[in-house]
Structure 1
Amino acid sequence: VVARWRNREFRIAKQEVTIQGRHNVYNTMAAILAALKAGVSNEDLRKGLTTFPQVEHRLETVDVVNGVTYINDSKATNVDSAWYALDSMHVPVVWIAGGTDKGNDYSVLFDLVKEKVKLLICMGVDNKKLIKAFSPICEVVDTHSLDETMNVAYRRAEKGDVVLLSPCCASFDLFKNYENRGEMFKEKVKKLKTKR
């Protein structure tokens, strides 16, 4: 990322910024320009961008277990949000999706899923629509609880992969809300550390 304001220039690698994703690159660029205009030093700007806390339930890195990164994007309750999450991934993805469908058109995700998803775990009471949409594109596993989902993810994800909870759907079939879904996911990830 490069930004210039009058006679000042600031550069930072995208990977150094704590919040990831193409959409957040735009947000980062806007923040850099505003900071440069306000006179913030390059040193303070770099410190802020590399230590800014991730936002809970929005592409939040939970932990790395056995070389697998677990990401909580439970707030992604629609197709557009899931698109940005998948677009942000640069390694093979075990994608956890599902919940209460909102009349979603999943076709906008097909190209990204073909390119990035090695396994889709459908987590919900009724996963028929997701299974029908994505079975021709990638391997799909049907699960009906978070425990079952996490067991599949743990067994199937390999070192270097990402397990991405980006549901594309509302949470109300198995959870109180997206926060509850995200919190429970994070608890399960922490328990994986004790699994051998």
Structure 2
Amino acid sequence: MKVEHKISIKNKLFIKREQSLNDFSSIEHRLDFFSKSNGKSWINDSKSTDIGATAFSLENIDGPIIWIVGETQQERDLDIIYDLVLSKVEEIIYYGSHETKLKYRFGSKVKYSQLLDIKSAVKMALKNQSNNISVLFSPACSSFPNHENYKARGEYFKNLI
């Protein structure tokens, strides 16, 4: 196979991959930028139901970030987001009733708050005085039992803003 042909194939694959990523990020509730007010860009990423999806979101948002994350009983591999959190996240707002490894891993390195629900988490994010900051609602957990699915949870979040 000629070198020019290989380059052409690589370019086509790159373009297809880029188009797929653009399509992926335009799905409602997936990196869904929906509001800007008082120096804050609000991003609904309710579709992120695991830490891998949240890692993708953190990678694709320019910092600084206030990250609203939810409670889960599943084990989270925090190693995959460690550097991203330290380099981009200004504040973690965790909603849920149980202690979490997030607190022990990041609580001494990043401002950390624990609240009971999404509504309280949004109120806390609104109190942050930083300008030019993104508020990322990327729960990294299931929507159950409080919401029927990630869409209902995402709509609930958007209606709080």
Tell me whether the two structures share a fold, i.e. TM-score over 0.5: yes
Instruction: Give me the CA root mean square deviation.
Output: 2.6
Specify the alignment match of 1:131 in structure 2. 103
Specify the alignment match of 2:122 in structure 1. 150
Report the Cα distance in structure 2 between the residues aligned to 1:85 and 1:101, rounded to whole angstroms: 21
SS at 2:81 equivalent: helix
Shift of residue 145, structure 1, vs aligned partner: 1.3
Quick one: which amino acid aligns to residue 170 of structure 1? S
Q: Which has the larger radius of gyration?
A: 1
Task: Kindly tell me the number of residue pairs found equivalent between the two proteins.
Answer: 148
Report the Cα distance in structure 1 between the residues aligned to 2:74 and 2:16, rounded to whole angstroms: 29
Shift of residue 26, structure 1, vs aligned partner: 3.1
Report the Cα distance in structure 1 between the residues aligned to 2:122 and 2:159, rounded to whole angstroms: 11
Aligned CA distance change for structure 1 residues 185 and 127 (closer, same or farther; 3 Å) = farther
Query: Runs of 5+ in structure 1 lacking a partner?
Result: 7-23, 32-48, 190-196
Q: Does 1:163 align with 2:135?
A: yes
TM-score (norm 2): 0.81
TM-score (norm 1): 0.67
Q: Percent identity?
A: 30
Query: Runs of 5+ in structure 2 lacking a partner?
Result: 1-6, 9-14
Higher mean C-alpha deviation, range 63-72 or range 130-139:
130-139
Name which structure has the greater RCO, CA cutoff 8 Å, separation 6+.
Answer: 2
Shift of residue 146, structure 1, vs aligned partner: 1.7
Matches within 5 A, 1:113-132: 113-132=85-104
Structure 1 contact 76–166 (Cα < 8 Å) conserved: yes
Structure 1 contact 79–104 (Cα < 8 Å) conserved: yes
